Amino acid sequence: MTSPFDLQQVVSCVSGYDPNALRVDAALAVIQGSVQPVQAIERLAVRAALGRVLAQDIISPIDVPAHDNSAMDGYALRGADLAAQGDTVLRIAGRGLAGHAFGGDVPAGSALRIMTGAVMPAGCDTVAPQEFCRVEGDTVILPPGVVRAGDNRRLRGEDLARGKAALPAGKVLRPADLGLMASLGMAEVSVRRKLRVAFFSSGDELRSVGQPLDPGCVYDSNRYTLWGMLERLGCEVIDLGVVADSPHAVEAALRTATECADVVITSGGVSVGEADYLRSTLATLGDVVFWRIAMRPGRPLAFGQLRAGENNAHSAWLFGLPGNPVAVMVTFYAFVRPALLHCMGASPQPQPMLRAVSAQTLRKKSGRTEYQRGLLTALPDGRWQVSAIGNQGSGVLSSMSQAHGLIVLHHEQTTVQAGDLVDVLLFEGLV
Ligand code: AMP
Ligand code: MG
């Protein structure tokens, strides 16, 4: 079966394409130009849809709020009744509470005692906050200059207007969106199905947690960082374990992964190490390119499409990440995360970066993108300062754990002096 996807054609469109010194942005452009969103949709209860990707635009079926209502506790009145000079004196016609509208009339020259959220009576367009009002018997007295006509009133449909788009397809649903859907009276929502992502680690030196650590071996940490990053994105995660450095084991793992997942992620074995069979096996199972990215950490990267199963009916996008634990995380954030979001059907979002003052000189040559683990501190003048953590080795996971984010030194950028502003990609987000 021939694939309609042709990676060579995609890379031929990249100007100055050099697989041995590929710019980060060029690699990302090839990846984003290749991967396709999953199409299947499922209906979920609103709460179960948190973090999922909205499959269709949501058009508001009602006005929210459904009626003009008061934004304050106070007195509803007609703006036209406000005295041009001196106090405004109005007769109190009754009382309106949230959920219990006043049934009578509020004629000109009178006001309604009203609570926040209560329906505005016909004819009234203004609410005087109670802290400005003085009540004497059945009149309310308002000093001059404390309200203008139209103040403290929420208009019908000002939040969401009936028939207008309330949420766009492609939105990753956040807590505010769940509340917004509830405010429309929705109990269920259509979202894209979860993306299935399978991964395994490759290397004879790797031991899994629970096994004894034989001489010369390391525990496999990549399957834990990868699991965490994928869970955070809301993927269905399939952990295929550690795969030995043997052609048969690697091929079997790749076939299994391709049959069960939309995306396959491997770590280790994509550089040119002698016992790394992953590279050669990948080349036989699909349309895969092997890059050396102009970045640090994380130079080697494989990307492509694998096919497996009867008649090669199954296909999956492949990301072959480097083995070093920090390189895995940095390449994931630089390439895999945006690609997975695209596959999930999410609309592209800007990735905000913090501009922070560099605490030290950061040596850097133009011609590659560097990601340094950084610690932030607040300066007395309100700006943020960032300092690069001492050990930036690509295997040093402890500095990744301590870091608040990654200092991004862009492709063309050269040495940064202490006091210069740099971009910092933050790990923590509010929602
Ligand atoms: P490789 O890319 O296979 O040459 O691996 C590069 C380095 O990363 C070697 O020191 C490996 O031992 C290490 N490494 C590879 N995979 C893992 C893993 N899953 N967990 C921890 N370290 C790893
Ligand atoms: Mg290896």
372 lines ligand 1 (CB under 6 A): no
Please tell me the predicted confidence (pLDDT) of residue 163.
97
Q: Which of 189, 190, 228, 221 is nearest to 207 (CA)?
A: 221
pLDDT of residue 274: 66
pLDDT value at residue 403: 98
The structural domains of the chain, ordered by start, are 7-40+193-343 (3.40.980.10), 42-64+158-192 (3.90.105.10), 69-154 (2.170.190.11), 353-426 (2.40.340.10)
| Reported pTM | 0.93
Q: Are strands 41-45 and 188-192 parallel, antiparallel or unpaired?
A: antiparallel
If we measure between CA atoms, which residue out of 428, 429, 426, 416 comes closest to residue 357? 416
What average pLDDT values come out for the chain (431 residues) when binned by 10 residues?
Answer: 73 88 96 96 98 98 97 98 97 97 96 98 98 98 97 97 97 98 97 98 95 97 98 98 92 97 94 77 92 95 96 96 96 98 96 97 97 98 97 96 98 98 96 89
Report the Cα 277 to chain-centroid distance in Å: 35
Whole-number Å distance, alpha carbon 205 to ligand 2 midpoint, is: 8
Residue with CA nearest ligand 1 atom 15: 323
Q: 199, 206, 265: which to mutate for ligand 1, most atoms within 8 A of CB?
A: 206
Nearest CA to ligand 1 atom 16: 323
Of 424, 415, 280, the closest CA to residue 351 belongs to 424
Ligand that lies nearest to the alpha carbon of residue 244, given by its number in the listed order: 2
pLDDT at 272: 74
Is residue 203 in contact with ligand 1, taking CB distance under 6 Å? yes
Would you state the pLDDT for residue 13? 86
pLDDT the model gives residue 16:
81
Answer yes or no: is the C-beta of 117 below 6 A from any ligand 1 atom: no
Rounded CA separation 117/135 (Å): 22
For 130, 146, 310, 419, the CA distances from 121, given in Å and listed in that order, are: 17, 21, 70, 60
Q: Distance from the CA of 327 to the center of ligand 1, in angstroms?
A: 10
> How many CA atoms are closer than 13 Å to the CA of 205, on its beta-carbon side?
11
Say yes or no: CB of residue 218 within 6 Å of ligand 1: yes
